Structure 1
């Protein structure tokens, strides 16, 4: 067996490399092509020599090569990992990944350009499948968004339409209570229960409507008024909750010395949700404490209760919609109360902070007395 020399080794490496290889002269015409690329394309080597590279590309590849790849090669002297499609002698498409680099003399004169192509049939097929999958995923997401929007619109309409029969029930119960037609203690207790349930259902509907508005982009709308006192609203909310939970003690301490530019109804809703949360989760043999004051240009309202501290994991999700924790009390509702309260706070340019220890859990709402120009 004869030994081959270095020249023969290099020639064999060029001809039978596991990639296509060709050289392009300074005039832009192909000067050499290896056997690998000849085998891939089905063209004889003589068919390549003297022709330009773009003549072996499909139409899209020709345009892309002339408008993007060739100018980039002239500008920086190389290009890397461009996807091209050769046309074979049989008229089939040959997907490749191409890399090229110029070779210049010491004086900067262009000698030739070396171009290597790697067959990328499987890779391009995978990329097309990936693009198709992405397209299907985007269509699915669009459909899901549309479905979610319709669902939230339905919730908004449902919450609105529930008000009318609920108002009729409440009005009927009040008429019976005022007329004196029912005198039995048991019947009066039933009416009290109806009124309490109506109030609870009304709160749930308010929360559903606010949540639906927020998800549909409307957000929490405010009707600010700094000329009317806020304290009577807070007292009214506390009185309603005392009536709804007569077995519980709610202590108040209000020192509102300055006007608060706010939506009084929304602030009443916020404090109602915070107190309702304290009644649900707090120790039943301990009072729920509610306080409010104006200080340092801010309105500060807090609600505190005794009982088990909030777990650290739950603290991170307290203001997320539909978060109910581990409690199964029937008063807990949909898990929207704290979420709506936080949205009301944000709409006023404020925030709600929470601290929870074995001695006390305290929610503190803080907002500026007057809204900033950006609010």
Structure 2
């Protein structure tokens, strides 16, 4: 009988092999994939798998692959591009399975990845040859115009996709609520709870994608201004929700809103939720997150601060860019759009969102003029 070295078979398999935690963080990567990608195992383990994908790949994986994998347990032959250490794309075909315990609780996700560079190149060359045969050589100006149109069409597609996903997701949510009334076993209750969590997460991702598309298409964040509605109860409601969602963490809030604020309260609540969630994720767990809002003579100010490690300067330059996640914890999943959307909400109100970070404190500050005339005139 031939003696088999299973460790060598896995490490040097003719395909990349990855094991993820249920939250999507890489727990194991074989030598084949590290060799293909140029990343070391230490650079990849502990990071989210989606951190190594292209922008389009992150959207596809987070909004399509991950939810379906959670619901059906496997997903076969999906195309995805991994970003190599040198910044180049590594085109791959992947298969994924989710391993669960006897109660249906997810234990790990396993991915097998095969290089598809030659296959993709062949397909692209066929498309280019057909295009050249039809239209001939185009000028640089025409190509530039087409690239612009393609980019705009891509953004429109994202917006339409977000809208079209709402109706089936609402139906799923309604169905889950009906099923929740008839559960009889603990296992059924766990499955319903998992589906409810997945629906809520997908709804949040859809909202973020829609806000991204609006911002990129030039429409900006939509506001519903209400000068008469008190703002403090809205902000306090956000703080109370996050306190319930983060037991063991201290969130201190102080509000001195003594004048009416002409704003979209729901949007400012969304901004505050993003900022406090960011502070809970990256701040010191032993120190409180502090929320402060007040009206001054001519402006409204809202800030959130936390203790912990300072933000590196390289990250500071990218904080408000879409899809930038930094070293996000597994407890906060998403596409990396929170701070980008917060900055767009600030801009839509004629205000500004800034950040400062030292070894003692990291602080995000939003300021906006109270006078609508000052917002439009830029004063």
2:282 counterpart residue number: 281
Larger radius of gyration: 1
Deviates more, 1:262-271 or 1:241-250: 241-250
2:309 counterpart residue number: 308
1:260 counterpart residue number: 261
2:172 counterpart residue number: 169
Matched position secondary structure for 1:331: coil
Q: Is the 8 A contact 1:286 1:305 kept in 2?
A: yes
Q: Is the 8 A contact 1:196 1:244 kept in 2?
A: no
2:152 counterpart residue number: 149
2:360 counterpart residue number: 359
Residues 365 and 199 of structure 1: CA distance in aligned 2, closer, same or farther (over 3 Å): farther
Q: Is the 8 A contact 1:277 1:332 kept in 2?
A: no
Residues 217 and 304 of structure 1: CA distance in aligned 2, closer, same or farther (over 3 Å): same
2:297 counterpart residue number: 296
CA distance in 2: counterparts of 1:185 and 1:251, whole angstroms: 37
2:5 counterpart residue number: none
Give structure 1 stretches of 5+ with no counterpart: 1-134
Equivalent position to 2:163, from 147, 151, 160: 160
- 1:311 Cα shift? 0.3
Which protein, 1 or 2, shows the higher relative CO under an 8 Å CA cutoff with sep ≥ 6? 2
Q: What does 1:84-163 align with in structure 2 at a 5 Å threshold? A: 136-163=139-166
CA distance in 1: counterparts of 2:221 and 2:364, whole angstroms: 20
Matched position secondary structure for 1:290: strand
Matched position secondary structure for 1:279: helix
CA distance in 2: counterparts of 1:206 and 1:183, whole angstroms: 33
- 1:137 Cα shift? 2.6
1:200 counterpart residue number: 201
Summarize deviations over 1:39-94 as a string: whole Å, max 9, x none: xxxxxxxxxxxxxxxxxxxxxxxxxxxxxxxxxxxxxxxxxxxxxxxxxxxxxxxx
- 1:365 Cα shift? 0.8
- 1:276 Cα shift? 1.9
Residues 294 and 374 of structure 1: CA distance in aligned 2, closer, same or farther (over 3 Å): closer
Residues 197 and 272 of structure 1: CA distance in aligned 2, closer, same or farther (over 3 Å): farther
CA distance in 1: counterparts of 2:178 and 2:295, whole angstroms: 40
Give structure 2 stretches of 5+ with no counterpart: 1-137
CA distance in 1: counterparts of 2:140 and 2:248, whole angstroms: 54
TM-score normalised according to structure 1 size: 0.58
